[in-house]
Amino acid sequence: MGSAFAEDLYKATPFTPAGSFTAEAEGPAVDKAGNIYAVSYQRKPTIGKFTPDGKGTILVEFTQGSLANGIRFDRKGRMFVADYSNHNILLMDSKTGKFKVFAHEPTMNQPNDLAMAPNGMLYASDPNWKESTGQLWRIDTKGRIKKIAADMGTTNGIEVSPDGSKLYVNESVQRNVWVFDILPNGDITNKRKLADFPDFGFDGMRCDVKGNLYITRHGKGTVVVLSPEGKVLREIDVLGKMPTNLTFGGPDGRTVYVTDADQKRIVSFRAEFPGREP
């Protein structure tokens, strides 16, 4: 049996060919069988589904003006999609591509990225790119939606800590990473800055089981890994200048998949620890 030390950790390699996506490549998420889902495969209004060996098919092509961004699975294997153009959170069948509106909120700018708490509570970032502002929403297991933060910068990447006690949010334009405490009812409190950077933007964000945050650095072409205290642990070259979002997958949860809008593809690398989601 090989060990983590015998393999090349944090070295990105292409998972799909360059040009297999549009420049809106986004959203990756992995189901229990190890299939990878990502947005804008071949054409813009699609979600692609990939086997663990990289064979891709179009799961759904939206025809009613919907456009997907972040994707998350809950512990029951249900697939949730941020439909930013129609201000929806969609509940989708990952086998057939059929979907229904799980939550709708007309006062959203655009639901952008999603985070799933261990108890099934969903959190959505909601940037206003023109104004460089943003807000946050929580969506309970019945699809009821509530604004939990306003007056923020361009909220983008969003994630919950492994124990479900903290919510992390980054702001793409302002280059801040914030952390909140999550209250028993799912609301958030005690906002404080975890980290900030002098250059390049942020996009997607995921935690490993140790609570380390993996954040795409849009424009720099890297994924930066922060400790739960906000210390930079490493920075990983992902072979394209515009990494958008990322997720953990693979049989042991230690393969990281990154969508890249520059090379219009997915790349992957191996990490030391698995992602926090099962």
Q: Residue 267 is part of a domain; what is its CATH number? A: 2.40.10.500
Q: Is the pLDDT of residue 4 over 60?
A: no
Do residues 152 and 195 make contact, with C-beta atoms less than 8 angstroms apart? no
Tell whether 190 is covered by a domain: no
pLDDT of 166 strictly over 60: yes
**Mean pLDDT value across the chain:** 95
Total number of domains in the chain: 1
Q: What pLDDT, on the 0 to 100 scale, is given for residue 228?
A: 97
Please check whether residue 228 lies inside any domain of the structure: yes
Instruction: Evaluate if pTM is beyond 0.85.
Output: yes
* pLDDT value at residue 3: 52
Structural domain harbouring 259: 201-278
In this structure, what token pair is assigned to residue 191?
């906002």
Question: What is the predicted pLDDT for the residue at 11?
Answer: 98
Give the tens place of pLDDT for each residue, 168-208.
999 999 999 999 999 999 999 999 999 999 999 999 999 99
Is 177 inside any structural domain? no
* 267: in domain: yes
Q: Is residue 67 part of a domain?
A: no
List, in order, residues 6 or more apart from 128 with CB less than 8 Å away: 109, 134, 154
What is the pLDDT at residue 1?
47
**Within-domain flag for 126:** no
Distance CA 48, CA 57 (A): 6
Tokens of 34: 């190890």
Higher pLDDT, 6 or 28: 28
User: In a 10 Å sphere around its CB, with 0-12 CB exposed, 13-18 middle and 19+ buried, how is residue 180 labelled?
Assistant: buried
Task: Please report whether residue 276 resides in a domain.
Answer: yes
Q: For residue 36, tell me if it sits in a domain.
A: no
